[in-house]
């Protein structure tokens, strides 16, 4: 561009087309962001807008005349039956988050701080390995394990212990979800624990803190951003999960995702309700992601 | 000399004048011996420095006292009590870390209060002592800040306050001023010294900076290759080094390898490998050293330069001026003797030598101004 205006101080700006310069500044971003932008527009933004539109048409069903616009679908959600389903979804998501945190923290801690350095990557990979198979496959595997005549119960009966009836109950949902999302938790916690300055633990010991005191007063607060990030990630993923509650949860474990499925492809066929539930779910997840972005990646140095 | 007397005396089990005692300490890491038989006693209220080049085992020695490492052999005693099996958090010592190791998630105030809170002191007690510690290091107005909002010097002060507030028997300082720039380092040296005098607590400092060690310490232990080379006052270490390593490491020196030719009770005659004959007046420490391999050490500032042959023939050699470096307060000369030895000479910038480069001149020093060290 500079060659087209060799003497800008002498020649008035009229020959130097500002819009051309602006355009040239846009070429780079357009080339880089264009393809994914189109992709997102067609497959995310447009469908979401379509669902938003559907959610604003009360009682829309396939093959039925459209009956004006309104917030009827959203008000519908406030029926106790649906609120109970939403509450149950949140309960499953929270429970799985707590479970993965309790299971994942010791593992991440051990890999990051105690395992021999050369084994760390291998240990992490082996932990992520289950993610390479389909979530459907993993859910079926759990059915094989948990069903009344499954692996777990045969094992228990050989030991002479009473058998457990876990499948098609909340317990199975917690087990399945925690199993599915544990690798995410471990990865995020590992990244945070691995950055932990061990000299701080020495400093804590020097000031009289025993190992448990140093853990609660230094390790946990120092890795709090990582803990928050891991928890939000698991919470978001389990809130919208469909496979695990569908396959392992049984009839009593209706969640929002299953309810939405039923509104579109199940017996009830209420597109309006399904769309409004979808919008609520999208909103909840978006808020969680916003929180994750704001607090998840904070450097422990920047506390204040 | 007092330190040799101390080393030779058998250690009394109940000597309460020692705050820290190391008895034949060894430390092996993965088959590598980092500390080899360190044996020393640190007096109560002393400012004691462990000085040595990097990798000499000085930091490991400090960590053994703090309890971050357990000795492979030997014993650490603090106030006469064996620290074997006593974890770091139960030892009456506090450390000022090289990297400060401040807790970034806590404010300055909470950083200093950390140790007191762990020991479950009363609220009023914590309040008073933290306030007092803040005042001591002149950081009262920064109490609410977080470490990331402080400069290096300020972080250093917080680290010192965090250690002192617990009123430890011994304060351990691991290269405490290493991360600061020169001017700030000088300031903090003065403050550390003042703090030590006012509080009367035993300070044990690890440093590779000889000037820092010389200016702050009551006594210095010079370490090399995991061993103690010498323990003594700054004056003893500088003026009466006992080994060639100490002579070379502390300040500048000129070293000549040679053989003792004749000894009488008052004078040693050394013939260097390059044929110089040097007369050395034996000091107490080198007294009775048997004839054999020695290293003669002459400090650059003890050597005189002249254009004419001086009247005294003792330790006088002819040479050629190779290079002159003007240092402001001093002038630094590099002289090559006829024997081929090269010497550095430091003269105050008072009587400038009117010598051209490459001109011949004479150097000489008194027999009391050099030392013969057993190689």
Instruction: State pLDDT tens for residues A59-82.
Output: 777 777 777 777 777 888 888 888
Of A3-7, A286-290, B42-46, the least confident: A3-7
Rounded CA-CA distance A192/A184 in Å is 13
Contact: A207, B94; criterion CB under 8 Å: yes
Tokens of B328: 């402001």
Tokens of A145: 């394990």
Tokens of B186: 């000088």
Contact: A207, B114; criterion CB under 8 Å: yes
Where in B286-339 does DSSP place strands (E)?
Answer: 293-298, 304-306, 316-326, 330-337
**Closest by alpha carbon to A285, among A244, A243, A246, A235?**
A235
Q: In the beta sheet, which residues pair with residue B95?
A: B172
The SS3 call for residue B58 is helix
Chain B's closest residue to A214, CA to CA, is: B118
pLDDT value for A171: 82
Q: pLDDT tens across A114-138, in order? A: 888 888 888 888 888 878 888 888 8
Q: How does DSSP classify residue B283?
A: P
Interchain CB contacts (distance < 8 Å): A and B: 74
Contact: B105, A302; criterion CB under 8 Å: no
- Contact in structure between B70 and B240 (CB atoms under 8 Å): no
Q: Would an 8 Å CB–CB cutoff place A89 in contact with chain B?
A: no
**Closest by alpha carbon to B43, among B16, B82, B11, B63?**
B16
Q: Would an 8 Å CB–CB cutoff place B146 in contact with chain A?
A: yes
Q: Would an 8 Å CB–CB cutoff place B49 in contact with chain A?
A: no
Q: pLDDT tens across B135-194, in order? A: 988 899 999 999 999 998 899 999 999 999 999 999 999 998 887 888 888 888 998 999
pLDDT value for B16: 67
Rounded CA-CA distance B309/B321 in Å is 15
Contact: A209, B149; criterion CB under 8 Å: no
**CATH classification code of A72-303:** 1.10.3720.10
**Closest by alpha carbon to B37, among B21, B28, B26, B29?**
B26
pLDDT value for B286: 52
- Indicate the average pLDDT of chain A: 82
Contact: A200, B148; criterion CB under 8 Å: no
- CB contacts of B162 in chain A (<8 Å) are 207
**Interval B69-81 mean pLDDT:** 92
Of B72-76, B136-140, B262-266, B272-276, the least confident: B262-266
Secondary structure of chain A in HEC code, one letter for each residue: CHHHCCCCCCCCHHHCCHHHHHHHHHHHHHHHHHHHHHHHHHHHHHHHHHHHHHHCCCCCCCCCCCCCCCCHHHHHHCCHHHHHHHHHHHHHHHHHHHHHHHHHHHHHHHHHHHCCHHHHHHHHHHHHHHHHCCHHHHHHHHHHHHCCCCHHHHHHHHCCCCCCCCCCCHHHHHHHHHHHHHHHHHHHHHHHHHCCCHHHHHHHHHCCCCHHHHHHHHHHHHCHHHHHHHHHHHHHHHHCCCHHHHHHCCCCCCCHHHHHHHHHHCCCCCHHHHHHHHHHHHHHHHHHHHHHHHHHCCCHHHCC
Rounded CA-CA distance B99/B97 in Å is 5
| Other CB atoms within 10 A of residue B208 CB | 18
- CB contacts of A204 in chain B (<8 Å) are 89, 103, 114
Q: pLDDT tens across A178-202, in order? A: 888 899 899 999 999 998 998 999 9
- B62: distance to nearest CA of chain A, Å? 12
The SS3 call for residue B121 is coil
Chain length of chain B: 375
Contact map slice: B 73-102 vs A, CB within 8 A: 87-90, 93-95, 97, 99, 101-102
A248 compared with B353, residue with greater pLDDT: A248
Chain A's closest residue to B93, CA to CA, is: A206
Q: Which of B89, B97, B163 sits opposite A209 (nearest CB)?
A: B89
Contact: A304, B101; criterion CB under 8 Å: no
Q: Would an 8 Å CB–CB cutoff place A302 in contact with chain B?
A: yes
Chain B's closest residue to A211, CA to CA, is: B89
Contact: B105, A303; criterion CB under 8 Å: yes
pLDDT value for A207: 94
Contacts of B178 (CB under 8 A, 6+ apart): B98, B207, B208, B209
pLDDT value for B15: 60
Contact: A207, B105; criterion CB under 8 Å: no
Q: Would an 8 Å CB–CB cutoff place A303 in contact with chain B?
A: yes
Q: Which of B146, B148, B166 sits opposite A207 (nearest CB)?
A: B166
**Interval A205-220 mean pLDDT:** 93
Q: Domain limits of chain A? A: 2-55, 72-303
Residue whose structure tokens are 């040679």: B258
- A200: distance to nearest CA of chain B, Å? 5
Q: Would you say residue B307 has pLDDT above 60? A: yes
Q: Which of A199, A208, A217 sits opposite B97 (nearest CB)?
A: A199
Chain A's closest residue to B170, CA to CA, is: A206
Contact: A222, B104; criterion CB under 8 Å: yes
Complex ipTM over 0.95: no
Q: Computed over its alpha carbons, how large is the radius of gyration of chain A?
A: 26
Model-level pTM? 0.77
């Amino acid at each position: 561009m500079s060659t087209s205006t060799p003497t800008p101080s002498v020649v008035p700006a009229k020959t130097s087309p500002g819009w051309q310069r602006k355009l040239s500044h846009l070429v780079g971003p357009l080339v880089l962001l264009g393809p994914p932008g189109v992709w997102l527009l067609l497959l995310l933004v447009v469908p979401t807008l379509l669902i938003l539109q559907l959610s604003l048409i009360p009682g829309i069903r396939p093959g039925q005349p459209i009956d004006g616009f309104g917030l009827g679908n959203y008000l519908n959600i406030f029926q106790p039956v649906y609120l109970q389903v939403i509450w149950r979804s949140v309960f499953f998501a929270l429970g799985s988050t707590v479970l993965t945190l309790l299971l994942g923290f010791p593992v991440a801690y051990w890999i990051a701080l105690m395992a021999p350095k050369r084994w760390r990557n291998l240990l992490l990979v082996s932990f992520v390995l289950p993610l390479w198979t389909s979530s459907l496959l993993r859910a079926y595997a759990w059915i094989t394990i948990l069903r009344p005549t499954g692996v777990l119960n045969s094992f228990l009966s050989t030991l002479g212990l009473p058998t457990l009836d876990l499948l098609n109950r909340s317990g199975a949902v917690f087990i399945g979800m925690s199993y599915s999302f544990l690798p995410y938790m471990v990865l995020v916690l590992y990244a945070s624990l691995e950055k932990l300055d061990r000299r701080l633990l020495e400093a804590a010991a020097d000031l009289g803190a025993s190992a448990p005191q140093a853990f609660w007063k230094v390790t946990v607060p120092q890795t709090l951003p990582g803990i928050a990030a891991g928890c939000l990630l698991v919470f978001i993923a389990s809130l919208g999960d469909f496979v695990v509650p569908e396959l392992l949860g049984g009839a009593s474990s209706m969640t929002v995702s299953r309810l939405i499925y039923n509104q579109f492809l199940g017996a009830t066929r209420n597109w309006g309700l399904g769309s409004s539930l979808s919008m609520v779910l999208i909103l909840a997840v978006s808020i969680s992601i916003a929180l994750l972005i704001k607090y998840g990646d904070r450097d422990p140095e920047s506390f204040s | 000399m007092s330190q040799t007397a101390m080393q030779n005396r058998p250690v009394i089990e109940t000597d309460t004048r020692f705050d820290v005692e190391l008895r034949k300490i060894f430390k092996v890491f993965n088959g590598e011996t980092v500390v080899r038989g360190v044996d020393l006693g640190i007096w109560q209220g002393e400012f004691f420095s462990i000085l040595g080049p990097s990798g000499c085992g000085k930091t490991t020695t400090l960590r053994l006292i703090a309890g971050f490492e357990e000795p492979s052999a030997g014993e650490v005693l603090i106030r006469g009590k064996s620290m074997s099996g006593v974890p770091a958090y139960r030892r009456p010592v506090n450390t000022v870390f090289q990297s400060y190791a401040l807790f970034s998630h806590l404010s300055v105030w909470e950083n200093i209060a950390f140790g007191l809170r762990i020991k479950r002191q009363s609220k009023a007690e914590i309040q008073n002592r933290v306030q007092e510690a803040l005042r001591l290091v002149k950081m009262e107005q920064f109490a609410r800040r977080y470490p990331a909002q402080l400069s290096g010097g300020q972080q250093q002060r917080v680290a010192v306050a965090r250690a002192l507030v617990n009123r430890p028997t011994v304060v351990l300082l691991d290269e405490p001023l290493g991360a600061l720039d020169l001017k700030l380092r000088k300031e903090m040296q003065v403050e550390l010294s003042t703090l030590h005098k006012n509080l009367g607590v035993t300070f044990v400092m690890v440093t590779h900076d000889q000037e820092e060690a010389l200016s702050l310490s009551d006594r210095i232990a010079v370490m090399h290759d995991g061993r103690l080379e010498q323990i003594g006052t700054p004056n003893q270490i500088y003026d009466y080094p006992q080994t060639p390593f100490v002579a070379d490491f502390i300040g500048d020196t000129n070293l000549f390898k040679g053989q003792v030719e004749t000894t009488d009770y008052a004078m040693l005659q050394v013939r260097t490998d390059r044929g110089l004959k040097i007369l050395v007046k034996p000091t107490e420490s080198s007294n009775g050293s048997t004839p054999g391999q020695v290293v003669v050490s002459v400090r650059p500032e003890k050597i005189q330069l002249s254009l004419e042959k001086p009247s005294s023939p003792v330790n006088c050699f002819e040479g050629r001026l190779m290079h002159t470096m003007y240092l402001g307060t001093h002038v630094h000369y590099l002289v090559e003797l006829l024997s081929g030895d090269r010497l550095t000479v430091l003269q105050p910038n008072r009587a400038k030598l009117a010598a051209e480069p490459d001109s011949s001149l004479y150097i000489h020093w008194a027999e009391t101004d050099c030392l013969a060290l057993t190689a």
